[in-house]
Amino acid sequence: MTTTRRRFSTLALALAVGLTTMAGATAEQAAPKEFRIGYQKVGLIVVARQQGTIEKRLAPAGTKVRWVEFQAGPPLLEALNAGGIDFGYTGDAPPIFSQAAGGNLVYVSASAPSGDGEGIVVKAESPIHTVADLKGRTVAVGRGTSAHNLLVAALEKAGLAFSDIKPAYLLPADAGSAFANNSVEAWSIWDPYLALAQARNDTRILATSGQVHDVSAFFLANKTFAEAHPGVVTSALAGLSEAADWADTHRDQVAQALADVTGIPYAIQKVAADRTQFGVRPLSDAILSSQQTTADRFYRLGLIPRAIRVRDAVWTPPRS
């Protein structure tokens, strides 16, 4: 993305969500003492933490930021619903599962598409050469994660039903071990675990998210918190936009920051950083329609208990 396009994206986001400074947020309650952000050790959210861009925007009002780590999106959404955190970042699937369960969440913005940073991988010596070859095979995947959606969509594109495979529902750490010791035959996963699997094992990628569908990850907030403190949410989005602009032109430093917080070697994080698109985008009709398609797919497969309307969970910030 060029500098001009990045600036336009940031401006568009600002116009769409009506970014305000904390000092001017007179319509909301008094600024909270603490803003709790749920994060996974991936992508833009790590950059924002390392750069302190959100902290700088909230400091004038005396609001401190506390970072709470999660291994995957579903437990992060559980904490968001319970009020254990105020804000978070996950892939496309977790908020759908949460909304279907009556979760107290709102979508506040979208990230750039996941592209090739998420994929379905097999060992190089595996007889599985296409997604269609997964029929009857055991595939590791995190239940309710973006990789779960990738797997379902890839199977459908290949003419298979989800019931044609044997899912092994595992979080990344356990899935990585199962893949390494051949307890599963394939793994649907996101970076940096995808890059790690590629580096540690002789592997082949069957399909990436960019090849299968155009989906986004999302920035989400606890609905009660967002209604009470809209200025905090919009300030956080502004800080994330600032971090995205920086990350897009400093990928070496992004890789080093990710290596520092994860312990995953720089060379592996560099692979992940180089194929990551950094950005904070308004919730356009196209983005919401894509997310609705995912929600409808999960309901049709019986993976969520009821049909949902994604737009019912979209946050509308107050006018400044």
Q: What is the pLDDT of residues 145-156, one digit of tens each?
A: 889 989 999 999
Predicted pLDDT at 5:
39
Instruction: Name the CA radius of gyration of the chain, rounded.
Output: 19
Residues whose CB falls within 8 Å of the CB of residue 135, separated by 6 or more in sequence, listed in order: 160, 164, 165
Q: What is the reported pTM?
A: 0.80
Q: How confident is the model at residue 263 (pLDDT cuts 50, 70, 90)?
A: confident
Residues 259-267: contacts with CB within 8 Å, 24+ apart? Answer: 260/50, 261/41, 261/46, 261/49, 261/50, 262/41, 262/192, 264/192, 264/196, 265/199, 267/199
Residue 93 vs residues 169, 182, 210, 216, 294: alpha-carbon distances, Å: 14, 27, 16, 10, 8
Question: Pairing state of beta strands 105-113 and 280-281?
Answer: antiparallel
24: pLDDT strictly greater than 80: no
170: pLDDT strictly greater than 90: yes
The one-letter code for the residue type at 201 is N
Q: Mean pLDDT throughout 139-144?
A: 91
Taking a C-beta distance cutoff of 8 angstroms, is the pair 276, 43 a contact? yes
Containing 263, the helix (H) or strand (E) segment is none
Structure tokens at 132: 């269609």
Average pLDDT, the chain: 87
Residues whose CB falls within 8 Å of the CB of residue 275, separated by 6 or more in sequence, listed in order: 115, 116, 117, 191
Q: Which residues pair with 187 in a beta bridge?
A: 121, 140
Least reliable range by pLDDT among 132-141, 177-186, 269-278: 269-278
